[in-house]
Structure 1
């Protein structure tokens, strides 16, 4: 972190990409008021949904616009920047529904088409509907190298790539990341987005980083377990602290964490995605 801050402050950096966890850490540093980011014009973030608090802090302190990006190595990408989604409250979870007939975007993106499919490969289209995001564009890869079996499973009959990510239709012009298809907590038949809970918990002032994993339960099947890195290890937050904070934010009761595990760090891959299997093994 010291090297990163030195580079941002002293090397005339205009643009960079930082994962939400790093943005959150910067905004919560004890000496944050001394950090000079005056040369930075914009920062993009991805790998997980950013928190509204972080976007607001960077805009308030340094006038920096955080651009929310969802994408994959296969060539998929949706971008919510200040031109297309100017309101920060929407930018955290509203991504442009690129290719939707009748939608115009100031960024001028062309040639991209997305649709959401349910488990029966039927397209969903109503606000609040959830489905797997399927993506088609000139930037999309042709297939997996020497793996025709994987390639065949990865594409629909009409050439859309199955991303493996669940999205929700926000409105007529926007979709939002809901969760990875295999990264849901299913509590008593209700699907809970771990990303939604993680994002909300990370806004707690005593939390430096957080991740959600399912905790097996004989009655409910699974319950929400939140793993937390404390901002101040000597005074970590309690489960009541976190659930009370989430209640005040308006989170539904069935989504509230029912177990808390304090950890030294949240394991992540090089692009910032949480290594859930490793985290579950460490907690167990």
Structure 2
């Protein structure tokens, strides 16, 4: 493994090889020749459509062009591209070259990008010219200035008008033989999804990520006839590889890249392309359900809606099949590795009320209390995990690794879960997503679930705010179904009481002035932003 990466212990690595989890497959190559590559559609993007033959040729030429400009195997490239064709071609080119993409999210700005460049030692930074009204070339200038002392960043590659930088379209050369990357070496870096602190880099190898692609495509029934609508940012693990963009391409399906996850962008694409699978984060589901009732678009091709990133409440979950006319699949996982899915043939009770069970028979789970002792069956505790596609350590983060991993290599997820008798996980919340109200712990996600059962509330987030007497008070931030008639605090407390919620869990404060809940770059509710908004200066 490369410097800064933590390898799997040799006995486990041998076991994963022996059990067929790890093979010699490298990312960016198709496992078998496609006889109809010249006519089979690989990518439908806002800027262009590519057949498999065209995508293959474009990736080979781009890999050769990068090589000609001095980008070598092992070099890191920060990739901050929206859902356009260049995201796919550049990813495949880097995999084939053996250079490592560091996937930044579209919402990242100077602080995050500088951190990624400096931590990874990136030699190149790939951006669009403009996206969502923001000029990324201005951001590139800032990043170059702030990382000048690092001395590694030599290239800015731009999809579109390059300004003073290099057009990605000009990075082109006749294909040349390139050494095949070692499948046990890192192939890419994903980012940790925490809402506090700077993101940590997650090294994923060719072997472990290819295993994830194979397993998820098989479990989700994604094959050559499937179309995957990439509604979320493609740089996110959920949209990239669960099975997502890469898993769909690996089996010869069609990837449809949407400019945003809004129904206004996605519904016409579903109608036009007949895509059959897509992925959303929970805050988007009520919006899709609402717009479905009035849309003129034919979205009947959609057979599978994956929802992950945070817990989907049962009220919304129960509406997916009757309103959208497709199967709901709850997905609980993390870029660090472990993935859990409800299965396509699971009973409604499992799909609505749990977040599924592990992807791999090699996944190991522990549910432990505050002292690290395993809880009784059905008890709630922190989830610890290790397995054939779960990292053994963040990149260049030894101090952080000592806190997040046990001595025997289990990753401390920070998630509070309950393991059901059927082997499925029910996510209860985060260890740090608890309001400490006068010494009594109020689990935010539990209260949010009850709030969302109120027909007057479309979206809800529970946060803790400073309180001189209690230490923290519980604040419910809600998006009303009807902004001109929001519920009052007294009405909300009464409704929660009627549902059997304990008095100490009732909100002390109610905020109803939001049109939408703010989201982080990975689509989770940004509770840090909410706390800043409602904390008195």
Count of residues paired in the alignment: 272
| Separation in 2, partners of 1:50, 1:123 | 26
Where does residue 60 of structure 1 map in the other structure? 322
2:345 is the alignment partner of 1:94: no
Compare CA radii of gyration and give the structure with the larger one.
2
TM-aligned CA distance change 1:36 to 1:195, over 3 Å: farther
> Taking structure 2 as the reference length, what is the TM-score of the superposition?
0.47
Unaligned 5+ runs, structure 2: 1-261
Deviations 1:191-217 (A, max 9, x none): 222112223323433323221101333
Matches within 5 A, 1:1-284: 1=262, 2-29=264-291, 31-32=293-294, 34=296, 36-83=298-345, 85-88=346-349, 90-96=350-356, 98=358, 109-127=360-378, 129-171=379-421, 173-262=423-512, 263-284=514-535
Unaligned 5+ runs, structure 1: 99-107
| Separation in 2, partners of 1:75, 1:3 | 30
Cα RMSD between the aligned structures?
Answer: 2.4
| Separation in 2, partners of 1:203, 1:10 | 35
Q: What SS does the aligned partner of 2:341 have?
A: strand
Deviations 1:222-251 (A, max 9, x none): 332110122322222222333333334443
Which has the bigger relative contact order, CA under 8 A and spacing at least 6?
1
| Separation in 1, partners of 2:457, 2:297 | 20
Deviations 1:170-206 (A, max 9, x none): 4363332111111101234332221122233234333
Q: Is the 8 A contact 1:28 1:208 kept in 2?
A: no
Deviations 1:90-137 (A, max 9, x none): 434424554xxxxxxxxx84111100122221111332x222100111
Task: Quote how far apart the aligned CAs of 1:138 are.
Answer: 0.3
Where does residue 101 of structure 1 map in the other structure? none
| Separation in 2, partners of 1:22, 1:178 | 20
Q: Is the 8 A contact 1:49 1:92 kept in 2?
A: no
